[in-house]
Amino acid sequence: MITIQNNKLKANFNELGAELISLINLETEKEIIWNGNPDFWGGQSPVLFPIVGALKNEQYIFEGQTYELPRHGFARRRTFNVKNSSDNEVNFELKSDEESLKIYPFEFSLEIKYTLVEKKLTVSYQVKNLSEKEMYFSLGAHPGFAIDTENGLNYNDYEISFSDDEKLEIHPLVDNLISNETQTIELDNKTLLLSYELFSKDALVMTTMKSRELILRNNKNNHKVIFTFSNFPYFGIWAAKNADFVCLEPWQGIADLENHNQELTEKFGILKLEKHQDWKADWAVEIE
């Protein structure tokens, strides 16, 4: 386990997947991240790479060859190297190797840097195309935030406010693929009330959400988490059935559409990176 800390926050990470597994507010000793109870969901904050969501039949086609990739890709199951670290910052790196090239035919470097400043944790991603050809990929974040249901509180006491949206256009998931239909959720003063029923049909997937700042708030004690992100055009909100957490997920890419032809280069939301070029994105969480 890798730890970084300042006088406000303490964060722990697993080298497997370079995953954030704990973020503690040192002033209140309150844990911000979901505990990873496998009875509900064993993840905590996995990185989704080189795809987000599921592929049709867990397969894609590139240059006439068929490859298989599991849902959300393979990076979350690989051990990252610690490239460098200090008291309040750590930088992880994953590079392509012989095993990855069998299922994803691109040479790459993926770096994830975590930085603490005051009461904010910033997570920065850099993907480098080390191939001599164009590289196609998606990347997504999947942090799960703990919902406090003790001391008279319950899940319905929490809400998410959106900086720039009056309503949300949702793409329902059908067998883990994106439906051709859409549904609309009307927000109350740009606010979504949380409930276990909200995720009864899986994640809320959005490709047109305008907000780049969300606030997860307890409306009884005003405990809140301010979540911001950049260079991620899509977004998902999800929780497992009856579990006391909610995931706020900025994405570059989504699951396959129901009618997708499985060609990687034609996948909705896929990003094309020219040889020897890089791509960057980030998200941050600030505790109040």
Q: Which residues contact 124 (CB under 8 A, 6 or more apart)?
A: 112, 113, 114, 115, 280, 281, 282
Q: Which residues contact 22 (CB under 8 A, 6 or more apart)?
A: 10, 11, 12, 31, 33, 44
CA distance linking residue 131 with residue 280, whole number of Å: 17
Return the amino acid letter for 33: I
- Mind listing the pLDDT tens digit for each residue in 90-126? 999 999 999 999 999 999 999 999 999 999 999 999 9
- Label residue 152 exposed, middle or buried (CB < 10 Å: 0-12, 13-18, 19+): exposed
- Mind listing the pLDDT tens digit for each residue in 163-196? 999 999 999 999 999 998 899 999 999 999 999 9
Diameter of the chain measured on Cα atoms: 58
- Mind listing the pLDDT tens digit for each residue in 22-70? 999 999 999 999 999 999 999 999 999 999 999 999 999 999 999 999 9
Q: Which two tokens stand for residue 57?
A: 């039949």
Average pLDDT of the residues of the chain: 96
CA distance linking residue 29 with residue 19, whole number of Å: 21
Q: Which residues contact 214 (CB under 8 A, 6 or more apart)?
A: 160, 161, 162, 163, 226, 227, 228, 248
Q: Which helix (H) or strand (E) holds 99?
A: helix 98-103
Collapsed DSSP state (helix, strand, coil) of residue 87: coil
Tell me which fold the domain 2-287 belongs to: Beta-galactosidase; Chain A, domain 5 (2.70.98)
